[in-house]
Chain A
Amino acid sequence: MEVINIIKYTKELQNLADNFDCGNKVINRFLKQDYAFDNNQGVTYVMVNKDKSRIIGFYAIEADRIDEIEYIGDFKNFKFMGGAIHINFLALDLKYQKHQIGKLNNRNLYLSDYLLIDCENRIAKLQSEVGIAFITLSSTEQGYNLYLRNSYENFEDDMHIIPKDKDLDGYKMYKCIDDIE
């Protein structure tokens, strides 16, 4: 029987948010607010324990796009390059950060890898439904190695606009959906 650990976040699960602490008050508060259920803002999925009494981690995704900038005379034209899903948030409770869930070829397998790959699987399923070329995200400093390890690339190398403050916008990263098996 398939085991479902990661489920769509609903109002009925909201009481579990009281015990969730990822170390970031804003993100903790996100789960307690109606934003988290507003499909106009994205969709949130929570990783729960076996009896669904505790939130271990969560991610939120929304539709996005990548544009190419074209210069036509003095005008800038933003040309659609491809549809994307943006990972708005991805976080684990402090208790479970850096938690190893096994080893693979002598390399540690982390809970964060599991959460990210589940997120990618969900996005990959959407590709044939809505047409998506990319996954985009803004990584925090803590998350940067997680995404590098999982074959994300720095968008800044390809960027037109370089944000002045990485602390506020994170490290922009992306992955081509076709790179997911």
Chain B
Amino acid sequence: MDKDINIDNNHINDKEECKMAVYAIKSKTPFITNKKELKGKKPSEEYLERRRYINSHNFIFDTDEETGELKVIVTEKDSAEK
């Protein structure tokens, strides 16, 4: 039987659920800082390369109807698309 799970305005109220496999959840508290200014660090070159690569290529995600297995086809965008 499913254990009781609370959902309050999409916030997760169950610790065990929260630990499971998702990458981001809705924040319960506001973003408040003592600082006068938030200056981000310079993004890493690795990240920028990843962005450039993803934005300069088309990705087609095809899945097997039965197994759901994912096949990814990657092609470079032509200059008009970039």
Residues of A within 8 A of B (CB): 1-3, 5, 22-27, 29-30, 35, 41, 47-50, 53-54, 56, 59, 64-69, 78, 81-82, 84, 86-97, 99, 101-102, 104-105, 107, 109, 111-114, 116-118, 120-121, 134, 136-143, 146-147, 149-151, 153, 155, 158-161, 163, 165, 167-170, 172, 174-176, 178-181
18 intermolecular pairs with C-beta atoms under 8 Å apart: A29-B5, A35-B10, A49-B70, A66-B32, A68-B34, A78-B32, A104-B49, A109-B53, A112-B23, A137-B24, A138-B26, A138-B27, A140-B19, A141-B19, A142-B22, A167-B18, A168-B15, A175-B40
Residues of B within 8 A of A (CB): 2, 5, 7, 9-10, 12-15, 17-44, 46-55, 58-63, 65, 68-70, 72, 74, 77, 81
B67: nearest residue on chain A (CB-CB)?
A: A95
A164 CB to nearest chain B CB (Å):
10
Contacting residue for A59 out of B18, B24, B50, B70, CB 8 A = B24
A120: nearest residue on chain B (CB-CB)?
A: B51
B15 A134 Cβ-Cβ under 8 A: no
Given contacts A5-B60, A153-B40, contact A90 B32 (CB under 8 A): no
Q: What 4 A-B pairs are tightest by C-beta distance, nearest first?
A: A143-B23, A176-B40, A23-B21, A151-B43
Residues of B within 8 A of A68 (CB): 32-36
A140 B54 Cβ-Cβ under 8 A: no
Kindly state the separation between the CA atoms of A10 and B37 in the bound complex, as whole angstroms. 38
